[in-house]
Amino acid sequence: MNSSGAKQVLQMAAMRLGFQACRVARADFLAEEAPSLDAWLAKGYHGSMAYMENHYEKRLDPRKLVPGAKSVISLAYNYFPEKDLADGEKPRIAKYAYGEDYHRVVKDKLFELLDSLRESLGAMEGRCFVDSAPVMERAWAQRSGLGWVGKNSLLLRKNEGSFFFLAELIVDYDFTPDTPVADHCGTCTRCLDACPTGAIISPEVVDSSRCISHMTIELHGALPESHKAAISPWVFGCDICQDVCPWNRHAKSHTEPRFTPNEWPDWTAEDWTEMTEETFGRVFGKSALTRRGLEGIRRNLGAGRLES
């Protein structure tokens, strides 16, 4: 099969599995991105995520992860909910964590995609990644033309916004690469202006130690006193910089049943506060919230005075 035919097979298989977009970049060393990564790490902007310092070469060169790699396939999977559940001062969860853990949902799709490609195109070595290995997913997505990196450091797609997961297949098949797209943020600074902790230091540069998502999920130990008022009522993640983005006015609801939340949307602050380990396991057992655990959620609940 010629390269254009193989690319069509790839894109049709991705769409059939529910991905909203699929693009390809050549698997090379990320020479342009290396200085930015170095500077970000040197300034300590990775916060408590010490693991970001590990596997440096693998972060910049996909051929270190998949020997013989020729293509990095970047995919987008929509998670924008039908209803925004952020309600007054009730405890809030970032939209990406409303339902089942995306690592499970999207990786299942990736495995299906890789199997489908092997069936259609023949032997193919590769690995699937969903925010679970040293892969600079936004850099690869931008290189492939899946979107552009906005000022809040998240990938944006014109007329779609940013409420989607990124996923990658790194394979030893030589798919025809796509080309990058233009940046469409223009002079807009709404995300920078809206961040209550000033985590967005400059366009595309986020100080994780100030980021509400980092503090409510990654940070262990006590929350910074200086940011407690800004953190409340978020108990897991944060959507502020995405909610204010003009491109997200175009976001359309996902069609993934595994992302549908169960009983917790009706909970009051009192319900959250009185939650037991048994209840947490029953309601959030398949959720990304297990990453933080009930103890961490209780800590975040105490960030400010929550009223039902």
Q: List, by residue number, the catalytic residues.
A: 131
d(CA 131, CA 66): 16
Residue with tokens 């990775």: 46
Q: What is the DSSP string of the chain?
A: --HHHHHHHHHHHHHHTT-SEEEEEE----TTTHHHHHHHHHTTTTTT-GGGGSSHHHHH-GGGTSTT--EEEEEEEE---SS----TTS-EE-GGGSSS-HHHHHHHHHHHHHHHHHHHH----EEEESS-SS--HHHHHHHHTS-EE-TTSSEEBTTTBS-EEEEEEEESS-PPP--------TT--HHHHH-TT--EEETTEE-GGG-HHIIIII--SPPPGGGHHHHTTEEE---HHHHT-GGGGG------GGG---SGGG--HHHHHT--HHHHHHHHTTSGGGGTHHHHHHHHHTTS----
The pair of structure tokens assigned to 71 is: 């293509």
Q: What angle do CA 188, 192, 197 make, to 5 degrees?
A: 165
d(CA 129, CA 138): 13
